[in-house]
Structure 1
Amino acid sequence: MTVVPDPAPAYPSSTTPLGRFALARSGDVDDARATVANAFCRHQLAPLERHERFEAQFNGVALGAVGVYYLDYGSAVRIDPKELDDFYLVQIPLSGQARILGRGWEVESSPAVASVLQPESPVSMRWLTGNRQLLVHIDSAALHDRLRRRLGRTPRHPIRFDPAMRLSGNTERAWVRLVRTLVECVDLLGVESENLAVAELGNTVMNQLLLSQANNYSAELHAPAAAAALPRPVRRAADILAARVGEQIAIPDIADEVGVSVRALQAGFRTHLGTTPSEYLRALRLRHAHADLTAADPLTDTVSDIAVRWGFTHLGRFAATYGAEYGESPAVTLRR
């Protein structure tokens, strides 16, 4: 196997990234599992070698839409997560190896190959002894909003990344270097709100992942047309709609706020986003309803409550629109 130079100076085994932000240090499997689950999602965790000492070390911080973490179990383990509901997780080994199995794919992960886990894509993992990882947690709604801004339109399908991030490429290595820079800044500066450098680096990590890792929008993102800026009124109106998605919104008021007529705003959205302001808002609300249904408890939440929360008062039309977009009924999503 070709040895790929590490994209940035590796943390030696004696150095623990994010050491100021310890979340767990435990020899108890159940305690470790509960703490990691609280940061990510429910999962099964089982040591693979009885003679090895299990000693989990878990550090990390959430920085808005992006979180950075360090995890080492101290021994070989099997990890079977619940499907990721609302986030992407990039796993970057600092040392050791891991095997990640998905539906129809497999990644042998090492310091030369990171892995990308994504919503609604079940996996099973084997982390071998000595596998120390940096983990990057990215909120899916925020990432899709970044994609929307770059494309200049609302994407119709979720982002699907290649699950293997091979660090032989310069762009992938540069992204991992950026992650390590973010981790080092957090270690040095902390996460107080006034540390704008940390917040900006977190946003950059999210933006650059879209451009660095192969995904189903890569061709469009790298096409020359994708770099063309939206007209300022259209961009501002789209941002206002996204920011006020949970509020009552009148399109004439938005047009007035951005300084154009309703007719001009409608024409701008059709020309540059391929939709109307009302349809754009409806798509945003449908995405939020999908996220809420995915995260809801079917014992206490109902489809109608969530639909009405996002402005869908006609449940039949909501179910039809939802089914056309997500390929299943809202009730099926809620029960899953």
Structure 2
Amino acid sequence: MSELIRFEVAGRDPESAIRDLTAADVGRGWTSRRTGEAYSYRYTAVGDDEVTIRRCRVTGFLRGSVSPGDHYVVQWITSGTAVVDVAGERHDMWHDAPLLSPTEQEFVFSGTDHDQRLVHIARSLVRDVAAERYDLGDGPLRFDRTRADDDAGLGPWHDALGALSRALRDGVDSTAWADAKRGVAAAFLGMFPPKVDALPAELSAPRNARLRTMVEYVHAHARETVTVADLAAVGGLSVRSVQESFARVLGVSPLTYLRGVRLDHVRQDLLELDPQSVTVGDVARRWGFAHLGRFSAVYLERFGEYPKQTLRR
């Protein structure tokens, strides 16, 4: 049975805002200051452990770091200005335009005199609903789009939020609330369709179950530092056995496979992003390529063209 989650923190000075937001576990390293004579803040949340509706209003400046957790977070602002920064990549928030918070990386949020709305949706709930709509297999669920710029998805999203708010009147242990939560998850997937990495067919064999687990880990953590020791821990094998498994089934070393996954992501980003707002270096560094000269060489070898050519298409 679901239990109601409801809390509110509010006040009229920056020091209290920093203390309360930190205690509410909605981020860390908060800083805040006045932007005029009057300063105020109010943060509210209501829902259960799978879905909460939240609102943060600040008359002043607020900045802090937020780490991904067990929930996907959709956020938007209705007034003021706000920016989400991921490793130097800036996403300006637009009024009434839902933005998917980074799902795998810590990010920095900063807002000025803003009214922010947020919906937290459990990853497990999204996965369950996605499994009914997409051919997911056991592969990692990944979202490349950060902004819901498709108007077709906004109507169902707003309808789903309305149904969720109405269902709260029946309580979080009601059938109406359970149905409304799934409706919100479905609307979320309508705005941010998942992209599932295709795994090598050889991994479907039962004898390769441990290798599949390690490969799924590579795909899920491709932006992060991944070592052979990490894969050994995930697969329950020795480092040598990990090397042998990749070589025997996939014909490459674990780190070569990781590099290929990262290159594929880079190419996908270069094809989708605006060349006026991003550089090859930005995308390459996002996927773990620090040396741009070597990166260009391996990219050319894999795709038969330089990354700049891909970006300019």
Answer whether TM exceeds 0.5 for this pair: yes
Deviation at 1:109, TM superposition (A): 2.0
Match of 2:56 among 71, 81, 101: 71
For 1:35, the equivalent position in structure 2 comes to 23
For 1:44, the equivalent position in structure 2 comes to 29
For 1:7, the equivalent position in structure 2 comes to none
Per-residue CA distance 1:1-52 (angstroms, 9 max, x = gap): xxxxxxxxxxxxxxxxxxx93332234023222234x2x4x32222243545
Match of 2:120 among 105, 129, 137: 137
The within-5 A match list for 1:310-329 is: 313-316=236-239
Match of 2:159 among 162, 177, 181: 177
Say if 1:96 and 1:110, in contact at 8 Å, map to a contact too: no
| TM-score, structure 1 normalization | 0.55
How many pairs are equivalent?
234
Q: List runs of 5+ in structure 1 lacking aligned partners.
A: 1-19, 221-270, 292-302, 328-336
SS of 1:165's equivalent in the other structure is: coil
Per-residue CA distance 1:213-272 (angstroms, 9 max, x = gap): 255359x9xxxxxxxxxxxxxxxxxxxxxxxxxxxxxxxxxxxxxxxxxxxxxxxxxx9x
- Rounded Cα–Cα distance in structure 2 between residues aligned with 1:67 and 1:207: 15
Deviation at 1:103, TM superposition (A): 4.4
For 1:26, the equivalent position in structure 2 comes to 11
Say if 2:146 and 2:192, in contact at 8 Å, map to a contact too: no
Q: Residue 127 in 1 paired to residue 107 in 2?
A: no
Per-residue CA distance 1:277-319 (angstroms, 9 max, x = gap): 676798579979x99xxxxxxxxxxx89x95xx8x54343786
- Rounded Cα–Cα distance in structure 2 between residues aligned with 1:62 and 1:283: 36
The within-5 A match list for 1:189-268 is: 189-191=170-172, 193=173, 195-217=174-196
Instruction: List 4+ stretches of structure 1 deviating above 4 A.
Output: 276-288, 317-327
Instruction: Give RMSD over aligned pairs.
Output: 4.2
Deviation at 1:91, TM superposition (A): 0.4
C-alpha distance 76-149 of structure 1, shift in aligned 2 (>3 A): same
Q: List runs of 5+ in structure 2 lacking aligned partners.
A: 221-229, 247-253, 260-313
- Specify the code of the residue in structure 2 equivalent to 1:33: L
Larger relative CO (CA 8 A, sep 6+): 1 or 2? 1
For 1:162, the equivalent position in structure 2 comes to 145
SS of 1:90's equivalent in the other structure is: strand
| TM-score, structure 2 normalization | 0.58
For 1:61, the equivalent position in structure 2 comes to 46
Which structure carries more strand by proportion? 2
- Rounded Cα–Cα distance in structure 1 between residues aligned with 2:155 and 2:138: 27
Kindly, what percent of the aligned residue pairs are identical?
14
